[in-house]
Every structure is written in C-alpha cells, then in structure tokens.
Amino acid sequence: MLAAYKVRNNFLSPITPSTDSNWLDDAIWIDLVNPTAEEIKTVEISTGISLPNVQETEELEASSHYEVYSTGFQINCSFLLKFEEIYSNINVAFLCNAKSLITLSTYEIPTIRFLQKQWQKAPRENSDPVSMIIALHEIKIDKLADLSEGAHLSIEKISHQIFERINSDLEVTINNLSRQDDLNGKIHLCLMDGQRDLNFLLRREQLTQDNLNSANDMQEDIKTLLTHNTFLSERIDFLLNAALGFINIEQNKIIKIFSIAAVVLMPPTVIASIYGMNFHFMPELSWPWGYPLSLLLMILAGVSPYIYFKCKGWL
C-alpha cells in the first residue's frame, strides 16, 4: 500500500494518487506498507532514493541500523505490534532527506497511523521530516511507557496469586510469567532501539532547538523506563523462582505422604508376612487368641512409628 501526504496550513493532508508521474512531488510523507514492486518503483523514480528491502530493515547490528547519504539518512526503527495476544518487534525503515520522509514497513504500524490521524485533525508547527521522526518517537515512547505500566500491574497480580495461593494451578502461573518476561524483553529491545535512534539524531547538526529539547527529554524518559524494565525483569525472575519453589514444596509433600505410608505400613506387613507363611510348626496357629493377637500386634507396629514421628515433629 502506498499513501502520500502533504502539509497544508500546518495540517497533514492526503494526496490522491493519480497516473501523473509527478503526483508525489509535493509529498512530505510517503508511507509504504508491504508495497508492491510497482509502488516501490514509483517512489524510487519520484524521489531518486533507492529503497531497502525488508531483510535489510530487519538487521539488528549497529552498522546496518542506519546509513548516511549525501542527501539524507536512513534509520531502521523497531516498534511493538500486537498479533492476537502476542507482541512482536517490527522494524520500520525511515528514509529522510531535506524534502520528505519515507516510511517502509511490512505491517501497518499503529504509532504511524496515530500521528497521521492526529496531524490531520490538529495543526503542527514543525513539519520538517526530522520533526516527524521526533514526533513518532515521542508517541512510541509513550506507548512503551503504557505497556510497561500494564506489565507491572499484571506482574503484581501474578505475585498476589502466587503468595496468596489464589490460583493453585502453578503451571498456568508460570506460563503467564513467561509471557510477561517475553513482553518485557521486547519492550527493552524497543527502548534500546529508540535510545540508539535518538543518539544518532543528536549527533546531527540539523536538529532545531525544539527537536533538541524533545530528544533530550526522551533520552531521560528512556533511561527511567530502562531502569523500571530491569526491575520488572528481576521481579519476574524472583516470582518464577518462587513458583518453582512452591511446586517443589507440593511435590515434597506428596513424596512425604508416600514415605510415611511406607514406613507406617512396613512393620504390620512384616508381621502379616510372618504369620502368612502358614508352616505346620507354628505354635501361634493353634492358639485361640492367636489371630486377634496378631491383629493387635500389627496395629501397634503401625501406630508406634506414627506416634514417634509426631513427637519428633516430622509430621
């Protein structure tokens, strides 16, 4: 999908596609989502910029994270996108020059759509491409802060379930913790990516004072969020160990029951085995009270170890 926008009276206005080869000349923002080969060719001819492929935007190495050209630069930015109940890191290529910004992604990114809709309803004084990148990062960091806060609340809820033993199914609890750990790791990756993007922009002389102030403020916000992210990671690790500890305790209780049962039943079993041999020369077999006496002996042999364990505090 190819969408182009221009600025009119400080508002973002969509450009209607046409067969005219110059219809992108006034575009300040060209947004490509899973574009076709024809759409890529149209943008490359109009802007003179060679667009990267999807594989190049997915690279995580610092050397491939951004590139500087004679007319501008390219940054590969990571955003969180939710597929059903699972979040994934999706990279978006930002190609920026003095005239326009090109965004290239495989999926539609809510952060980009949010800025586009917001700008169409409310005017923005700074409409240059770099300011647009700064604005996108502000929205991105706000969203990450909301996700981090939501993750914190979910982790505290899981903590309450573990220690108050509200949910006895610890397997479900561990599964929930693993999901939170996965989300926390992806938030961390996005924060590190944003920090790297801002460091790159701060090294450039084209930043206005407003953009410089915004970038510095976001750097401080990212540092705070990274600290909180580390705290959540440690919290998840602690809760995971606690859940595994409770599982071990439950298993030990079961093993303890079987061990006690084996010890308590072993003496009566020995007595029953002796008198169950039924040899001819066994004087007890001819006693009138032999059978009741053997039953009493079995009961005493079973109760005695139980009383002993109880007195020792082993039960």
Given a contact cutoff of 8 angstroms between Cβ atoms, the answer to whether 161 and 173 are in contact is yes
Q: Please provide the average confidence, as pLDDT, over all residues in the chain.
A: 85
Q: Which two tokens stand for residue 63?
A: 């050397």
In a domain, 146, yes or no: no
Q: Which two tokens stand for residue 11?
A: 């508002």
For 175, list phi and psi in degrees, rounded to 5: -65, -40
Q: What is the DSSP string of 172-238?
A: HHHHHHHHHHHHHHHHHHHHHHHHHHHHHHHTSTT--HHHHHHHHHHHHHHHHHHHHHHHHHHHHHH
The pLDDT value given to residue 181: 94
CATH of residue 73's domain is: 3.30.460.20
Q: What is the DSSP string of 230-276?
A: HHHHHHHHHHHHHHHHHHHHHHHHHHHHHHHHHHHHHHHHHHHHHHT
In a domain, 132, yes or no: no
pLDDT tens-digit series, residues 124-159: 888 888 999 999 999 999 999 999 999 999 999 999
In a domain, 290, yes or no: yes
Which positions ≥6 away from 202 have C-beta within 8 Å?
212, 215, 216, 219
In a domain, 225, yes or no: no
In a domain, 194, yes or no: no
- Please compute, for residue 58, the number of CA atoms within 13 A of its CA located in the half-sphere on the CB side: 8
82, 109, 136 - which closes a domain: 109
In a domain, 189, yes or no: no
The pLDDT value given to residue 196: 92
225 vs 187: CA distance, rounded Å: 9
Question: What's the rounded mean pLDDT across residues 236-264?
Answer: 85
Of the candidates 115, 116, 112, 107, the one whose C-alpha atom is nearest the C-alpha of residue 54 is 107
Number of separate domains in the chain: 2
End-to-end CA distance of the chain, in Å? Answer: 70
Buried b / exposed e along 71-82 (16+ C-beta atoms within 10 A): ebbbbbbbbbbe
| 259 against 73, higher pLDDT | 73
109, 129, 145 - which closes a domain: 109
> Parallel, antiparallel, or unpaired for β 101-105 and 29-33?
parallel
In a domain, 14, yes or no: yes
CATH of residue 285's domain is: 1.20.58.340
87, 109, 131 - which closes a domain: 109
In a domain, 97, yes or no: yes
Which positions ≥6 away from 251 have C-beta within 8 Å?
none
The pLDDT value given to residue 167: 61
Which structural domain range is residue 267 located in? Answer: 252-312
pTM of the model: 0.80
CA angle 5, 11, 12 (to 5 degrees): 15
- Which of the four pLDDT bands, split at 50, 70 and 90, describes residue 186? very high
pLDDT tens-digit series, residues 39-55: 888 888 888 888 887 66
- The dihedral over CA atoms of 134, 138, 139, 141, expressed in degrees to the nearest 10, equals 130
Whether 70 shows a pLDDT value over 80: the answer reads no
Strand partners of residue 104: 32, 93
Q: Which two tokens stand for residue 271?
A: 């007595």
